Structure 1
């Protein structure tokens, strides 16, 4: 196994522009799991969507309005949330920050 398959250094790992005010950086993956850093500027919106992947997200910086199913909560640095498979969810960035998303299985659509 090569170093590039197991180590993802911030300075050398590409950030992809997802849309206005949102960028993502893949931090590691195999077929069963994927970690992604998602950087938001204030006002960035992760639009409501759903996918077959289970997801756990940790808020490493900032403050976000988080919508999961019919529930809405304002969460901040240090908080986390879980999204079951196929449940509608989204976020609004209230204070510049970063989410650390973990998906199972990996998000094939994030790999180009």
Structure 2
């Protein structure tokens, strides 16, 4: 499934459960790129994992402890991070917030 080019309206996209205290909206995608909004409740954990996709994340709101390749840093609204392909990473939400994730190529597993 490939989305048609055009405008993206947040209110038209439904949330999907992505884990305990975590939900996401797939905002747009094509085979080479995907934009995803992820909302975390305080204390929710994105467990350590890795994937072949390159990921760049913008912190829209909240406070997160971010771990990349074993290094940890607390980041807040306006900050961001970059994860190369196959690098282990994780987040812990310290204050309820939203991450904006960009993946290349798209995450086909998110569409199943």
Q: TM (normalized to structure 1)?
A: 0.94
Q: Name the Cα RMSD after superposition.
A: 1.3
Secondary structure of the residue aligned to 1:11 is helix
Partner residue of 1:23? Answer: 23
Give the Cα separation in 1 of the matches to 2:5 and 2:24: 18
Structure 1 segments, 4+ long, off by >6 Å, are none
Give the Cα separation in 1 of the matches to 2:6 and 2:83: 26
**Aligned length in residues:** 110
Question: What's the CA shift for 1:5?
Answer: 5.0
Structure 1's unaligned 5+ residue stretches are none
Give the Cα separation in 1 of the matches to 2:7 and 2:26: 11
Give the Cα separation in 2 of the matches to 1:10 and 1:34: 15
Structure 2's unaligned 5+ residue stretches are none
Q: Deviations over 1:67-109 (max 9, x none)?
A: 0002100000000100000000010000000000000000000
Partner residue of 2:101? Answer: 101
Partner residue of 1:35? Answer: 35
